[in-house]
Amino acid sequence: MNSDFPPSPQGPSDPQGLSLAGRPAVSAKRGRIIAVASGKGGVGKTFFSITLSHALAMRGERVLLFDGDLGLANVDIQLGLMPHYDLGSVIAGKLSLNQASMHYEQGGFDIIAGRSGSGSLTNIPTSRLQILSEDLLLMAARYDRVILDLVAGVENSVRQLLHAADTVLVVTRDEPTSLADAYAFIKLTALKRPNLDIRVIINASNSTRAGERTYKTLCKACHTFLKVSPSLAGIIRSDARVSETIRNQTPILIRSPNSEASLDITAVAERLIAG
């Protein structure tokens, strides 16, 4: 891919529903709420979110994995779970976020599942998404780390949920469309949240060195056109065992703990803990 990207144009709820409007804003400590995002689908974002949550939990952190997709949610599918409650019930005002969470024993972390095939978050009013974001901030106080597996793209629902995050990991691959879409995501995010901690994950890289070259290509474009330089959060090497673990609905840190992908995502978790 070319090293340069062309510049582009620039009320209270019921007691069982979401939180009351008008309450004081809640702030999260740096790195507590981490959004995992991508400019396009198919880059391994959900697998990364699951494995990162597992790696953090294995290091003694209290972790919540939030599946922020009502249309194509698949955290529960990748893990072979059948949750009784999900984010759809929260959006409908039937449950609080806390009531919708479940503990995933194998991984040692909590999950709020999305709901596949129930419609997109784009259809939800902005005011409802704002309340959801505020509730997420409140719930985050119970955890050392909250991982938000966001919908791919830059639609309004993604931007609203990003308000709860203080760090965003942008997952991309060494493919022209993936890098161009990652650039577009970083551009829009940096415009809306200029002080947000944006970091890059290069996934399914042929080697660490190849991943570094891919990162430099993206970073050069961001610096040239946006005057921002997102840091490199990690390089995940291509690993055939990733597909095996997804097919078997078993976490890779259990099935293949010494695989390259396991070691690389564990390294990302350790750097996040170190700050």
pLDDT in tens, 104-131: 999 999 999 986 655 555 577 888 888 8
Q: Does residue 1 carry a pLDDT above 60?
A: no
Token pair for residue 167?
A: 């760090």
Question: Minimum mean pLDDT among 80-94, 95-109, 114-128, 133-147: which range?
Answer: 114-128
pTM above 0.85, yes or no: yes
pLDDT, position 2? 45
> Lowest mean pLDDT: which of 36-45, 112-121, 148-157, 212-221?
112-121
Interstrand relation of 231-237 and 63-68 (parallel, antiparallel or unpaired): unpaired
Average pLDDT over residues 40-66: 96
- Cβ atoms of 157 and 151 within 8 Å: the answer is yes
Nearest to 106 by CA among 53, 180, 70: 53
28 inside domain: no
Kindly indicate the confidence band of residue 26, based on its pLDDT and cuts at 50, 70 and 90.
very low
The H-assigned helical ranges of the chain are: 45-58, 75-79, 87-91, 97-100, 126-140, 156-162, 176-192, 208-226, 240-248, 252-255, 260-274
- Domain presence at residue 244: yes
Residue whose C-alpha is closest to residue 55's, from 271, 230, 266, 217: 266
* 255 lies in some domain: yes
Task: Report yes or no on 15 lying in a domain.
Answer: no
Residue 18 located in a structural domain: no
**57-66 pLDDT tens trace:** 999 999 999 9
**Number of domains composing the chain:** 1
Backbone CA torsion sign across 57, 157, 152, 201: negative
Tell me which residue range forms the domain holding 177: 33-274
Taking 80 as the threshold, does the pLDDT of residue 251 lie above it? Answer: yes
Q: Tell me the pLDDT of the chain averaged across its residues.
A: 86
In a domain, 241, yes or no: yes
Whether residue 70 is predicted with pLDDT greater than 80 in this model: the reply is no
Confidence of residue 5 (pLDDT cuts 50, 70, 90): very low
CATH number at residue 222: 3.40.50.300
Side chain identity at residue 76, one-letter code:
D
Within a domain: 173? yes
Say if CB 43 and CB 236 are below 8 A apart: no
Q: Could you give the C-alpha distances from 72 to 75, 112, 164, in angstroms and in order? A: 10, 14, 21
